[in-house]
Amino acid sequence: MRLPFRRGAAPPQPAPVRAAPDDGHRNDDHDGHALRAPTRLHAFNRYEIKYLVPSSRIPRLRRELAARLDHDSHGTDGSYGVWSVYYDSRDLRFYWEKIEGLRFRRKLRVRHYGDRFSVDGDTPVHIEIKQRVNRVTQKRRVALPYRLARDLCDRRQPVEHAPAQRAFLEEVLELLSRLDLRAVAMTGYQREAFVGRDADTGLRVTMDHRVRGRDRDFHFAADAENRLVVPAGLSVVEFKADERVPYWLTDLAAELNLSVVRVSKYCQAVEAFGRAPRSIFHIPDESPPNTPTT
């Protein structure tokens, strides 16, 4: 049974950030400037377009991107692992906000870049609040040692922090406590990333392959099985831009016959592990259920 919406009234929508106008132009008022302030709290606004791309089209897309853009400086030739633990309420409030397409919605996660098996208590990770305000995606995050991130998010203990981080970490702790958040799902994938140069400065394109996850054993380095939550023959590709996606890139998407999709790796994982009925946005499985992967 596929349920696009839940029953009952939607939860109240908090509004800590003033919404951007519906015409897609960012609101450069005080709140917007505060999000982009150059502090240890990394924050940015951007527009994101997602595609679900068959593996057969990835080689040409990769060649075209490499000819015009630079590889991300992280990883090897812009390729690296991305692992995220998502937090949600008992009734999956953040999941339903996404499924219902609320104009203001958000998610809380702890993210690690690189080899998850190398993670220990001193490994830097990011605590992130990613939120959507109309058509603009806003992400705020701070880097902390993994042990402190777990103290905050799993044990709800205040942690030591620099003054520039104080307000954000207090917001995270308040969110965890008020909504009774706990780890719900973990996702991981291999990312290829390209960044714009010259006229395309501010552009970022990511290709996420072998999207997998689990619904327990949430320590990054846990010796636990993951399984695919997006079919192995598909990659999630995102165009991310500060202002607008350049014409050459949208033309390339048209040439490759790519269609914009509404997909969330977190929601996909929630549904893949039976935490919620599969919505109309769920990507159908191509392999038998419970197929393990690394």
Per-residue pLDDT of the chain (294 residues; tens, 9 = 90+): 444 434 343 444 443 433 333 333 333 333 333 333 333 455 667 788 999 999 999 999 999 999 999 999 888 888 999 999 999 999 999 999 999 999 899 999 999 999 999 999 999 999 999 998 887 888 999 999 999 999 999 999 999 888 889 999 999 999 999 999 999 999 999 999 999 999 999 999 999 999 999 999 999 999 999 999 999 999 999 999 988 899 999 999 999 999 999 999 999 999 999 999 999 889 987 644 444 455
Tally the domains of the chain: 1
pLDDT at 221: 96
Cβ atoms of residues 192 and 69 within 8 Å: no
Question: What whole-number distance in Å separates Cα of residue 122 and Cα of residue 146?
Answer: 6
Question: What whole-number distance in Å separates Cα of residue 71 and Cα of residue 32?
Answer: 29
CA-CA-CA-CA dihedral for 45, 140, 192, 196, to nearest 10: 30
Interaxial angle between packed helices 146-153 and 166-178, expressed in degrees from 0 to 180 and rounded to the nearest 10: 40
Kindly state whether residue 39 falls inside one of the protein's structural domains: no
Kindly state whether residue 151 falls inside one of the protein's structural domains: yes
Instruction: Please give the model's pTM, rounded to 2 decimal places.
Output: 0.82
Strand, helix or coil for residue 65:
helix
Task: Give one DSSP letter per residue of 186-212, joined into a string.
Answer: EEEEEEEEEE--GGGTT-EEEEEEEEE
Strand, helix or coil for residue 145:
strand
pLDDT at 246: 93
Kindly state whether residue 147 falls inside one of the protein's structural domains: yes
Kindly state whether residue 33 falls inside one of the protein's structural domains: no
CA atoms within 13 A on the CB side of 28: 3
Q: What sign does the CA torsion over 71, 230, 116, 219 have?
A: positive
* Residue range of the domain that includes 224: 45-287+289-293
Question: What whole-number distance in Å separates Cα of residue 127 and Cα of residue 84?
Answer: 10
Kindly state whether residue 17 falls inside one of the protein's structural domains: no
Kindly state whether residue 214 falls inside one of the protein's structural domains: yes
- Check which CATH number belongs to the domain holding 282 and give it: 3.20.100.30
Kindly state whether residue 11 falls inside one of the protein's structural domains: no
Question: What whole-number distance in Å separates Cα of residue 72 and Cα of residue 51?
Answer: 20
Kindly state whether residue 207 falls inside one of the protein's structural domains: yes
What does R_g of the chain's alpha carbons equal in angstroms?
19
Q: 195 has which bridge partners?
A: 70, 204
pLDDT at 125: 98
pLDDT at 30: 33
Q: Which of 83, 123, 61, 112 has the alpha carbon at shortest distance from 210? A: 83
